[in-house]
Amino acid sequence: MTENNKVSEADAIAAQAQLHHQYFLGLQLMVAVEESRDTVFDWMFRLFRRQHEEKFLSSFSKLGLDGLPPAIACAKYHVLSNGVGGVSVEYMEESDTKAWVRFRYPRWMYAGPAICGIPMEAGRGFLHGWYAQNGVSLNNPRLGFVCVSEDVTGQFGLCGFFAEYDYDLAPDQRLRFMPDEPVPNFDSSEQPSPPDSQWSAERLAKANRNYSVDYVRNGLASLVQVLGRQRAEELGKRAALLTGLQHYRVMAERVGGVDGEVMDAAQFLQAMMLGMGDEVVLNAQTDGSVLCRQTGLRVVRGLNGATRESVLTCWIELWRGAIHSHRLFMDAQGEVTAEGILNWIIRRQEPSKRSAT
């Protein structure tokens, strides 16, 4: 493998964004297959309400939305905030009190053929969790969202409008469905863009990575709320392991990884963590294994207690899967110290003793 000072940080950041996106897709499919539709709805509701409470109001100034009429500000928010995550959303403004958003295919949330395995309840959950809450968060009881088309119903993708009415909305009026509402034409000259002075190419790349990572962090935390810690970790770990196994070659190609010996696997791990802003120091051991000392742990930054433990327990399996995907039979074990350092041991394993758990 190339030395890590020759690995492009931009490539490592992009690789992490793609990996966490794939993991989120895999986790959605696993929950959809193994749990009920009601569980999917509840999970997506909690996930998007959590995302809403963390991101919505705090991002207004960063995106240059202060002072705009509420309906316009909300529509532009969803265009801009999704745009930094690489999600294509179009904006159409009818008036100061009515503004549209249309998510274009391919959908980031259900990329590729994953869209065929996601139930309608997933979309309904996130609409109730986020879109129905915008007026509440803005202390505007007259602001609601009308959904005209959904993602997995065979219409034309998620589309609808924010509207400010001349009366206060009841809770069940904050989100309504009106599939026959005509959609205005798109005008590219009206499409908003983030303030150039605040959003360099480097910052946008990191925001794209954080977009994917946040869905994993909040997705796992919300799944624990719905299923309980044991079952959520069971599904989260299995989806992570499979994602790491499946996605290793794509990651390796991006960061110059070599499908070789134990030290090559350790250097791959080191290069990938550059994309998280984490530092990994490698030490070859006398028994042929490699100790990898990882500091930073961006993936659980700001998380505490059981939530931090659950997210990290599942996340570790991503990298165990990637190591297991090598031709040479190897295993990786990660343990977190009391100081918050993640120590990995990567070692060869006899084929007869190889295990995915």
- In a domain, residue 291? The reply is yes
Q: Does 183 share its domain with 208?
A: no
Q: Does 94 share its domain with 220?
A: no
Q: Does 292 share its domain with 242?
A: yes
The pLDDT score that the predictor gives to residue 153 is 93
CA distance 257 to 322: 11
Q: Does 308 share its domain with 179?
A: no
Q: Is the pLDDT of residue 5 over 60?
A: no
pLDDT-derived band at 205, boundaries 50, 70, 90: very high
CA angle, residues 88, 11, 357, in degrees to nearest 5: 95
Q: Does 185 share its domain with 207?
A: no
Q: Does 67 share its domain with 155?
A: yes
Q: What is the pLDDT of residues 17-45, one digit of tens each?
A: 999 999 999 999 999 999 999 999 999 99
Closest CA to 298 of 242, 220, 217, 233: 217
Q: Does 211 share its domain with 258?
A: yes
- C-alpha 111: how far from chain center: 12
Q: For the chain, give the mean pLDDT.
A: 94
- In a domain, residue 238? The reply is yes
The pLDDT score that the predictor gives to residue 45 is 98
Q: Does 215 share its domain with 316?
A: yes
Of the candidates 190, 215, 243, which is a domain's last residue? 190
Of the candidates 164, 190, 216, which is a domain's last residue? 190
Percent of the chain with pLDDT over 90: 87
**Between 355 and 70, where is the model more confident?**
70
- In a domain, residue 299? The reply is yes
**Between 238 and 201, where is the model more confident?**
238
What is the token pair recorded at 155? 């219409």
The least confident of 181-185, 205-209, 236-240, 349-353 is 349-353
The pLDDT score that the predictor gives to residue 7 is 79
- In a domain, residue 14? The reply is no
Q: Does 207 share its domain with 271?
A: yes
Q: Does 100 share its domain with 142?
A: yes
Q: What is the pLDDT of residues 297-344, one digit of tens each?
A: 999 999 999 999 999 999 999 999 999 999 999 999 999 998 899 999
Q: Does 216 share its domain with 324?
A: yes
The pLDDT score that the predictor gives to residue 85 is 85
The pLDDT score that the predictor gives to residue 198 is 73
- In a domain, residue 232? The reply is yes
Q: What is the dihedral of CA 310, 316, 320, 325, to 10 degrees?
A: 100
- In a domain, residue 15? The reply is no
Q: What is the pLDDT of residues 106-160, one digit of tens each?
A: 999 999 999 999 999 999 999 999 999 999 999 999 999 999 999 999 999 999 9
- In a domain, residue 144? The reply is yes
For residue 151, give its domain range. 63-190
Q: Does 228 share its domain with 276?
A: yes
- Count: domains in the chain: 2
Q: What is the pLDDT of residues 178-192, one digit of tens each?
A: 999 999 999 999 999
Helix (H, G, I), strand (E, B) or coil at 354: coil
Of the candidates 190, 220, 246, which is a domain's last residue? 190
Query: Which CATH number is 326's domain given?
Result: 3.30.1380.20
E strands, 150-271, are 159-164, 175-177
Q: Is the pLDDT of residue 90 over 80?
A: yes
The pLDDT score that the predictor gives to residue 169 is 98
Determine the residue type at 177. Answer: F
Q: Is the pLDDT of residue 64 over 90?
A: no
Q: What is the pLDDT of residues 252-286, one digit of tens each?
A: 999 999 999 999 999 999 999 999 999 999 999 99
- In a domain, residue 67? The reply is yes
- Longest CA–CA span in the chain (Å) reads 75
Helix (H, G, I), strand (E, B) or coil at 86: coil
Q: Is the pLDDT of residue 2 over 50?
A: no
What is the token pair recorded at 280? 């990994």
